[in-house]
Amino acid sequence: MTREPDRDRNSSPDDAADQPLLSLPTDLRDELKEPFGPIETDAEELLERAGTPIIAVGDMVTYHLRTAGTAPDVSVVDGQTERQAVDAEIREAVTTETALSVEISNPPAVLTEALVLALVDALERPEPTTIVVDGEEDLAALPAIVAAPDGASVVYGQPGEGMVHVTVTETVREEVRALLERFEGDRERLWTLLS
C-alpha cells in the first residue's frame, strides 16, 4: 500500500513539500563523513545490540538487516548504493517486504519537508514502513536521529566500511541538532516538523 505522508504539522495547502527545506553547505560535507556511532560489518551482531525502533537509511543497510532476519521499523531507500543502482534483487527485497510504503521526492544534498514528514509519520506507526525516495536519501539519518526516541537505533551506510550504528541519546541528538543548525534554509520549519 502506498500513501503520502500526513501533512498535519501546521502545513498549508500551498506548502511545497518537495522543495528543499534545508541544503547541505559545501563546507559541512567533510564533517558528515565522520560516523555518529560505531561501524559494524555484521548485521546479526548489530541487531543483538540494537534498540527499538530500528531506522535503516540506505538500500544495502536495509537489505543486510532484513537478510539477518529483522525488518527495520523504518527503512529509507533510494535504489542506489555509492551512486550506483542496486541490483534488482536488492531493490525488490527492500521495497516489497514491508507493511506500508511511502514514495517521496528528495533531491541530492537537501532535506525536503516531504522526507522529514515521512520519517516522523513512519516513527509513529506500529507497522514497518519503507520510505522510497526519488532522488537521494543520504541525509535522512540526521532528522531520523532527532526524531527517534532515546534508545532507538539509527543505522546508515559508511561507504567502503560498513554500517554505522547510532544509539539515540540526548547527547547524540543535540550533536545532530547543532549540525543541522549549520545547514542553509528554513531551520525553524524543520524544528516544527520534528517537534
Binding site per annotation, positions for GTP:
59, 61, 78, 137
Residue numbers belonging to the annotated binding site: 59, 61, 78, 137
Q: Which ranges of the chain would DSSP assign to H, the alpha helix?
A: 43-49, 59-67, 88-96, 113-124, 141-147, 170-180, 187-194
Amino acid letter for position 172: V
Cell of 32: 558528515
Q: Which DSSP letter does residue 127 get?
A: S
Strand duo 184-185 + 39-40: pairing = unpaired
- Residue from 161, 157, 160 nearest 94 by CA: 157
Please, what is the end-to-end C-alpha distance for the chain in angstroms? 27
C-beta neighbour count of 75 within 10 angstroms = 30
- φ and ψ at residue 84, rounded to 5 degrees: -120, 145
Q: How far apart are CA 180 and CA 112, in angstroms?
A: 13
